[in-house]
Amino acid sequence: MAKILVVYDSKTGNTEKMALAVAKGAREIKGVTVDVKKVDKTTVEDLLSADGIVMGSPTYYGLMSAKLKALFDESVKVHGKLEGKVGAAFTSSGGTATGAETTMLSILQAMLVHGMIVQGRANDKHYGAAAVGSPRERDIESCREVGRRIANLVTKLAK
């Protein structure tokens, strides 16, 4: 069984709702197990044991939260050992044009430095899923789609 880890930071609960939707989408794919963990409870060993890692953060000044960044900073201990794992990002923000895309790119950039595989989308939501405030149903569906896409890619690579 392929293992997907969904890691998130959430102060208001918006990013947590998105994390649960990502996990739900990933669970729709046969042959995948999914763990959802708040960033405070996530260890570098959790990252090592996953085949796919999806990380979500509120948008803070156009970047990931300090807690998520701290996990990436700690992951320097295992630099090179996340290579080939599949990664994706999602974020919640306070408004439009407030840094959602750059927040996701900050997460994806750290994943790419680790040598992870990141899958974009050609038609919409190129960098991941984003919501303004409390996620609406279309945002939740976008999160489920991220989960399905990552789970599908992980299972394809496992073959």
Query: What one-letter code names the amino acid at 100?
Result: A
CA distance 25 to 98: 27
**pLDDT for the residue 149:** 97
CA distance 8 to 42: 9
Range of the domain at 103: 2-158
Tally of domains within the chain? 1
What's the token pair of residue 109?
Answer: 């950039």
pTM of the model: 0.97
Query: What one-letter code names the amino acid at 135?
Result: P
What's the token pair of residue 159?
Answer: 């073959």
According to DSSP, the residues that pair with 36 across neighbouring strands are 6
What's the token pair of residue 44?
Answer: 């570098």
Closest CA to 125 of 109, 151, 147, 152: 147
Ordered per-residue pLDDT tens for the chain, 159 residues: 999 999 999 999 999 999 999 999 999 999 999 999 999 999 999 999 999 999 999 999 999 999 999 999 999 999 999 999 999 999 999 998 899 999 999 999 999 999 999 999 888 899 999 999 999 999 999 999 999 999 999 999 987
**pLDDT for the residue 156:** 95
As a three-state string, the secondary structure of 28-48 is: CCCCEEEEEEEHHHCCHHHHH
**Long-range residue pairs from 118-124, CB within 8 A, at least 24 positions apart, any chain:** 118/86, 118/87, 118/88, 119/86, 119/88, 119/149, 119/150, 119/153, 121/149
CA distance 118 to 128: 10
Q: Which CATH number is 57's domain given? A: 3.40.50.360
**pLDDT for the residue 96:** 87
**pLDDT for the residue 124:** 87
**pLDDT for the residue 155:** 97
CA distance 85 to 53: 7
**pLDDT for the residue 24:** 98
